[in-house]
Amino acid sequence: MKHKIIGIKNYSDSVFELRMERNGLDFEPGQYLLVSKPGLDEKREYSIYSSADAGFLELLIKDVDGGDVSGALHRSQIGEELDVEGPLGTFTIPQEKRDAKFVLIATGTGIAPFHSFVTSYPGLDYKILHGVRETAQLYGKKSFDPNRHVECLTGSINGHFNGRVTDYIRENEIDLNSYFYLCGSSDMIYESFEILQSKGVSRDHLFTEIYF
């Protein structure tokens, strides 16, 4: 399906937010889309950043070195059309579990599905751990309850915690009754998974989405 770009917001030289017409596409928060530009053979998976109730679709994208799709998307202009497939994926919160407690752990643009969770489910009982280098990389910060948002910074002392999210998990108590959702780099996810299991979190309370 074709979706027209209606907005572009640049956060840095490499990270940007892309807004597209929704065209009636329904999704569950946490799902992703396969996106490409006409003429490109390759497609790329991007978690949906926007609320399920929004009248548009938003993606939070990092233009990676050597990334044909991310680079092409970064060079896009408002009014261009993109090829979109989906939604896909099961990194979602089932309706029967939405009254539970959640710990949402992200690095970088891995915050995207959690932004969709929080803006779609206003009553969600959550805590977000977001690992980045600098405060400027805390994407979506204004949408999160400041009392539930833990800034784990490795390149600045201005956050709540100076260090990686894995350091925070290792050094702090965790609620074993919570559900843990992890999204971001594979290294973070594998290490966090190991730490959480060593602290007694059961496998059925752990959910992951790896960003390559």
User: Per-domain residue ranges for the chain?
Assistant: 2-88, 95-211
* pLDDT tens digits along 152-171: 999 878 878 999 999 999 99
Is pTM beyond 0.75 here?
Answer: yes
**Cross-strand partners of 115:** none
Residue 189, phi-psi category: left (phi > 0), alpha (psi -120 to 50), beta (remainder)? alpha
Say which CATH class 2-88 falls into: mainly beta
Beta carbons within 10 angstroms of residue 25's beta carbon = 15
Distances (CA, A) of 100 to 176, 177, 181: 12, 8, 13
Using one digit for the tens of pLDDT, what is the confidence trace for 41-95? 899 999 999 999 999 999 999 998 877 899 999 999 999 999 999 999 999 999 9
Yes or no: is domain 95-211 CATH 3.40.50.80? yes
What pLDDT does 212 receive? 53
